[in-house]
């Protein structure tokens, strides 16, 4: 019990110091050291084995990360939100189209689950769950897209789509080509 009280007291002190010094980086580091990661790590450059083609996108639901293969040995790694248990899927697809500020129309299942959802949200609306960029996967309803709820990145929340921070979705949008191979797996990616 006294250890918990000590942690809470130290956390309160750290919060006071961080707000006084406006040191968000210190606060993140402190809480990560004390309690473990509070949010997923951001975009990273990682080393990979050479089994993928340049331009491939590998979505690892096991890692809760998306990897864009930059070269035979390097990939950009982005944190993602993944599908809920009942929406789990895997397979190979491709980027069939890319859209800036895509409009969103929820499926009938989504509206049955939440009748308060609007029938349509125009592109560019800050409440649009697709965020600012979307990569459409094959002829499915699945997309890799930004989000209007960045605090859910790292969580198991979607109906099958792969959510990213808007700035990461914009970065991937710039890199990825229409026709790019997309591998979606529950296996973990082997990085070095």
Pairwise CA distance, residues 44 & 93, whole Å? 24
Q: Quick count: other Cβ atoms within 10 Å of Cβ 191? A: 15
Q: Which of 52, 145, 165, 169 is catalytic?
A: 145
Q: Which two tokens stand for residue 155?
A: 């969580």
Pairwise CA distance, residues 67 & 45, whole Å? 9
Known catalytic residue at 145? yes
What proportions of the chain, in percent to the nearest 5, are helix, strand and coil?
Answer: 30, 30, 45
Known catalytic residue at 51? no
Which DSSP letter does residue 134 get? E
Contacts of residue 132, Cβ cutoff 8 Å, sequence gap at least 6: 100, 101, 124, 146, 166, 169, 170
Which DSSP letter does residue 28 get? H
Q: Which of 81, 95, 135, 161 is catalytic?
A: 161
Q: Which two tokens stand for residue 163?
A: 């959510």
Asked if 128 contacts 140 with a C-beta cutoff of 8 angstroms, the reply is no
Tell me which residues are annotated as active site: 145, 161
């Amino acid at each position: 019990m006294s250890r918990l009280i000590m942690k809470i007291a130290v956390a309160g002190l750290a919060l006071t110091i961080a707000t006084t010094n406006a040191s968000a980086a210190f606060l993140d580091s402190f809480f990560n050291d004390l309690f473990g990661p509070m949010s997923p790590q951001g975009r990273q450059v990682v080393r990979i084995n050479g089994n993928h083609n340049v331009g491939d996108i590998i979505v690892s639901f096991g890692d809760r990360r998306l990897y864009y293969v930059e070269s035979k040995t390097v990939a950009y790694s982005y944190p993602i939100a993944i599908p809920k248990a009942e929406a789990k899927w895997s397979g190979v697809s491709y980027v069939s189209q890319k859209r800036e500020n895509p409009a969103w129309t929820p499926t009938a299942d989504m509206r049955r689950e939440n009748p308060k959802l609007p029938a349509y949200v125009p592109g560019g609306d800050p409440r649009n769950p697709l965020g600012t960029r979307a990569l459409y996967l094959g002829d499915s309803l699945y997309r890799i897209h930004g989000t209007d709820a960045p605090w859910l990145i790292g969580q198991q929340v979607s109906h099958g789509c792969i959510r990213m921070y808007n700035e990461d979705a914009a970065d991937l949008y710039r890199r990825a080509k229409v026709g790019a191979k997309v591998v979606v797996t529950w296996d973990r990616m082997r990085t070095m």
